[in-house]
Amino acid sequence: MAAVSGVDAKGILEQSAKAHGDLYQSVAEVEVGYKGEWSKFAKRVQPTLVDAGYRQSSTERYLTKSGVVHQKHRGSSGAKLVYRDEMSVNVCYDGNASTDGEVNDAAALVADAYKLFLFGSSYLLANGRELEYVGTRVENGTTFHLVQGALVPGLGFSERDEFIAWTSVDTKLLHRIQFTLNGLKSTRGADVSVEFSGFSEQSGFILPRTFMEHVERPIHAKAHYWEMTDFRVISHGSLTKE
């Protein structure tokens, strides 16, 4: 999309991060619970990424200073543990370490993507590059500011991913992120979007409780619906490096 001059893209993300409580900058460690359902389409075309037998609910811990993510996924097939830091990923199924490169790449992508979903505008403000304002869009009676940019490095082991953030002109809240998925060979060239809704106050922060993911390209299709079932700040802090 073409950039629009005269509007501060970074300023729009700053307003949105502030409206949410600037979670990424305000906590050192947070724990979140999720549960959800995958579409038949997603399970058929991306079985490794979806990992539907294990990814039905999860408990996830995020450490903002170190970038470490701990995820415990549960499903009808058993338990899956993921440890992700800024350089590597470790995956265990029912206590057995994975040596499958595609499985590990997918787990790294998922861990990074869910960090983006949780921290939203606050994360994009801290990590987004090449920010440009690309105008407004009206959907279902709501007017949104659109800010595009890049994550370098990208999600998972991608060198680069691009995004468009949709923030409400009125409330400043982030309602949607569109982004590329270059961290997995089978998803390169695909665009997806995640819509956020059910906003409520959680420990002083305004967070979405429901999430809907669609594949936008190469075809449009529903992929995943999930809900936040728990949110707990373990320790407050900031991203100031010690």
pLDDT at 241: 44
- In a domain? residue 76: yes
CA distance 202 to 190: 33
Spell out the residues 6+ positions from residue 170 whose beta carbon is closer than 8 angstroms to its own: 142, 143
Domain containing residue 192: 9-236
**3-state SS assignment for residue 146:** strand
Count how many domains the chain has: 1
- In a domain? residue 241: no
- In a domain? residue 206: yes
pLDDT at 121: 98
Q: What is the pTM of this model?
A: 0.94
Read off the amino acid at residue 127.
Answer: N
Spell out the residues 6+ positions from residue 13 whose beta carbon is closer than 8 angstroms to its own: 121, 124, 125, 128, 131, 147, 165, 167
pLDDT at 6: 56
pLDDT at 2: 63
CA distance 163 to 13: 13
Do residues 60 and 32 lie in contact, with contact meaning Cβ atoms separated by under 8 Å? yes
CA distance 11 to 172: 11
For 100-112, give the secondary structure using H, E and C. CHHHHHHHHHHHH
The tens-digit pLDDT sequence of the chain (242 residues) is 666 655 799 999 999 999 999 999 999 999 999 999 999 999 999 999 999 999 999 999 999 999 999 999 999 999 999 999 999 999 999 999 999 999 999 999 999 999 999 999 999 999 999 999 999 999 999 999 999 999 999 999 999 999 999 999 999 999 999 999 999 999 998 899 999 999 999 999 999 999 999 999 989 999 999 999 999 999 998 665 43
Residue with tokens 């690309």: 134
- In a domain? residue 125: yes
CATH number, position 94:
2.50.20.10
Residue with tokens 């997918």: 106
